[in-house]
Amino acid sequence: MLSVAVPLGLALCLLLALPFLLHYHLEETRARQHALDSENRVLELAQQAAVQEVASVLSDLRFLHEQNEMRDLLRGDAPGARERLAAEYLTFVSQKPRYEQAAVIGADGGEVVRVDGNDGRPTVAGAPALQWKGDCAHFQETMRLGRGEVHLSPLDLILQGGAVQMPLKPVLRASVALFGAGGERRGVLTLSYHGRRLLTRLRAYAQGGASQLWLLNEQGYWLAGPDPALEWGFAFPERSDRTLAAREPEAWERIRAEVAGTVDTADGLLTFRRVYPLAGDASASDAPAMASPHRYSWTLATLLPHAALSKRMAGLAGTLLAVYGVTAPLLFGGTLWLTYRSARGRARLREAQRRERERMLELAHANRLASVGEMATQMAHQVNQPLTAIVTYCAAAQRSLQSGAGDLSRVREWVDAIGEEAQRVSAIVRGLREFVRRGKMAPVPLDLGEVVAGVVGALRPDADRRRVKLGVETPAGLPAVLADRVLVAQALLNLVRNAIEAVSVEPSERRRVVVSLALEGDRVVVSVADTGPGVDPGLAGRLFESFVTTKPEGLGMGLSITRSIVEAHGGQLRYDPAPSGGAVFSFSLRRSAP
């Protein structure tokens, strides 16, 4: 039983795991999507912030460019224009601490005016402090621009004396070229914006979340990154390989190819979005000559560590495992229990069938005992013949021996004959004992012709008394059947006796019973046909039930027992009305293997 139940239970538990796994998978997909949405929201806010910040810088730059003091300076004929401009810039930088510096550089590269933020205490650079910027990239490039065009430098670190100024000071320079009244280039106006402010603002969007916010430049260097040591790689010769391109080449490939997207990296889920800072310049449309805003880009990215995602899923997995842990043993136990129950049910059925067979054998035995009286007459006759022979031989032998002149060889012959006759008696007595014995069903290869002859012989005295012609039709060469000798004889006895009783009500010339055997396929069919009145059609359906009888003194057990015996042999008892009136009862038995 366990050999079936355990694999079955395990299989069911595995099946039960499927919905759990499916649910987990769906949840994981949903959680990932949720995380992506969240990361994209952060990126979008950061993008807007970056664009706005740059836009406001450009706005300020244009404002300064259009100032009267600047016009005065460019006209070049107003005395004190430089001082007035410096004062103006001092006020401006004081009001707007986001700027590190506001400077005007002459066409020759030398600074004309410069105001330094100086960490909240803005100062105007005196003449000795003015520097030459002719070799600076932002000056050279801006000098090449047309009227109204803006130059935005990369977000870079401030250098001091050829080295990076410590602590690090990221700066973004926005510049515009200055033109004289005659259209000649007169220099460059530059606003230096505190990059730290932008970076801090951007990072604020990712705060409270599980992910880091990165800002990368076009070369893949971190401006804001996972670790300060990885940032500004381009500014330090020894850090030149600290790029995302070097660290995650595949991710970088995607970032270069796509404007926005998500890529799985070893460290986590990387969500990225390209930002064009110049796209937010309000006056860009007014300045068609301005360089394409898409020429200048940063990349904003967030990295959501795997751990954050799996931590979110861990709770669900725990819950699912707990539920599965409770339901699977229940299912397993239930399977064992049900298997046990059904095995018990089958055992009970087998037990009931066994009891039914025992009851049949019991009834059959009682039925045989009841038949013994009827058998006695036949028995007496059967035993009488050999007994008669025995006593007669004995008398002959005695006389022969007494006369003294006896032929001993004849006497010996008679004694032998006496022994044989005694064996005959013994066999008959054994047959009777077997008939009344109580025992188990013991199917053996059986010659049905012999059984029929025995039964017909036993019932012939009764048939003679009732003037019933009792016939037998058994073809030669029938195969043996596999059956219990006594039980089959009993079944046949019941049928033939019923038939004899049935025809007894007919006129004597019509009283006929025929027992016949026939081979049909692999079965031998036994049929008992009579010329009696047949069975009332109303009764035919219940004929083989117990206690159904047509005889005033009948118990109604005969056919029921016969049916039980036949069914115990794997056959079926049939009733058919005979074509010429009367009844035919038949059953078949399987032939024994040759």
What phi, psi does 407 have (nearest 5°)?
-85, 105
Least distance (Å) from other proteins to the CB of residue 425?
A: 11
Binding piece for other proteins, criterion CB under 8 A, among 125-133, 170-178, 341-349, 386-394:
386-394
Report the site for other proteins in 433-472 (rule: CB under 8 A).
461, 464
Least Å distance, CB 475 to other proteins, is 20
Token pair listed for 116: 């330094």
Question: Is residue 385 a contact residue for other proteins (CB under 8 A)?
Answer: yes
Chain centroid offset of residue 294 CA: 52
Q: How far is the CB of 453 from other proteins (least distance, A)?
A: 12
CA-closest candidate to residue 234, choices 170, 291, 277: 170
Contacts of residue 394, defined as CB under 8 A and 6 or more positions apart, other chains included, come to: 414, 418
Least gap, CB of 550 to other proteins (angstroms): 28
Burial class (CB in 10 A: 0-12, 13-18, 19+), 146: exposed
The Cα 438–Cα 366 span in angstroms is 9
Q: Nearer to other proteins by C-beta: 358 or 416?
A: 416
Is residue 229 within the footprint of other proteins (CB under 8 A)? Answer: no
| Least spacing, CB of residue 486 vs other proteins, in Å | 24
Report the chain's C-alpha Rg in angstroms.
60
**408 belongs to the binding site for other proteins (CB under 8 A):** no
Part of the chain binding other proteins (CB under 8 A), chosen from 98-106, 282-290, 313-321, 378-386? 378-386
For the four alpha carbons of 184, 185, 187 and 192, in that order, the dihedral sign comes to: positive
Task: Fill in the amino acid letter for 292.
Answer: S
Question: Does the protein bind other proteins through residue 431 (CB under 8 A)?
Answer: no
Among 388, 423, 508, 572, binds other proteins (CB under 8 A): 388
User: With binding defined as CB under 8 A, does residue 396 bind other proteins?
Assistant: yes
Q: Reduce the secondary structure of 141-160 to three states and give it as a string.
A: HHHCCCCCCEEECCCEECEE
Q: Which is nearer to other proteins, 343 or 422 (CB)?
A: 422
Do 492 and 528 form a contact (C-beta atoms < 8 A)?
A: yes
Any contact of residue 232 with other proteins (CB under 8 A)? Answer: no
> Taking the complex as a whole, how short is the minimal distance between the CB of residue 507 and other proteins, in angstroms?
20
Q: Per rule CB under 8 A, is residue 377 in the interface with other proteins? A: yes
Residue bearing tokens 């751990």: 307
Q: Rank residues 227 and 407 by Cβ distance to other proteins and give the closer one.
A: 407
Cα 378 to Cα 372: distance, rounded to the nearest angstrom: 10
Which span (130-138, 266-274, 416-424, 563-571) binds other proteins, by CB under 8 A? 416-424
Which is closer to other proteins, CB of 134 or CB of 461? Answer: 461
Q: Across-strand partners of 261?
A: 272
Q: Does 375 bind other proteins (CB under 8 A)?
A: no
Question: Does residue 380 interact with other proteins by CB under 8 A?
Answer: yes
Distance CA 218, CA 215 (A): 10
Q: Smallest distance from the beta carbon of 421 to other proteins, in angstroms?
A: 6
* 401-432 burial: b if 16+ Cβ within 10 Å, else e: eeeeeeeeeebeebeebbeebeebbeebeebb
User: How far apart (Å, rounded) are the C-alpha atoms in residues 502 and 500?
Assistant: 5
In this structure, what is the dihedral angle of CA atoms 133, 137, 142, 145, given to the nearest 10 degrees? 140
Phi first, then psi: give them for residue 324, nearest 5 degrees. -65, -40
Beta carbon of residue 427, minimum distance to other proteins (angstroms, whole number): 13
Q: Does 391 bind other proteins (CB under 8 A)?
A: yes
**Spatial contact of 130 and 114, defined as CB atoms under 8 Å apart:** yes
Nearer to other proteins, 369 or 395 (CB): 395
* Binding of other proteins by 387 (CB under 8 A): yes
386 binds other proteins per the rule CB under 8 A: yes
- End-to-end alpha-carbon separation of the chain, Å? 37
- Scanning residues 499 to 518, which ones bind other proteins (CB under 8 A)? none
Among 23, 341, 344, 410, binds other proteins (CB under 8 A): 410
Out of 43, 390, 514, 515, which residue is the one contacting other proteins (CB under 8 A)?
A: 390
Give the interface segment with other proteins, choosing from 80-88, 259-267, 302-310, 419-427 (CB under 8 A).
419-427
389 binds other proteins (CB under 8 A): yes
Cβ atoms within 10 A of the Cβ of 70, count?
20
Q: What are the Cα distances from residue 348, in Å, to 344, 345, 353? A: 6, 5, 9
Task: Kindly state the smallest distance separating residue 517's Cβ from other proteins, in Å.
Answer: 20
Q: Point out which span in 91-99, 150-158, 314-322, 389-397 binds other proteins (CB under 8 A).
A: 389-397
Task: Considering the complex, state which of residue 226 and residue 406 has its C-beta at the smaller distance from other proteins.
Answer: 406
Choose which of 392, 504, 516, 550 interacts with other proteins (CB under 8 A).
Answer: 392
The residues of the shown chain that bind other proteins, judged by CB under 8 A, are 377, 380-381, 384-396, 399-400, 403, 410, 414, 417, 420-421, 424, 461, 464
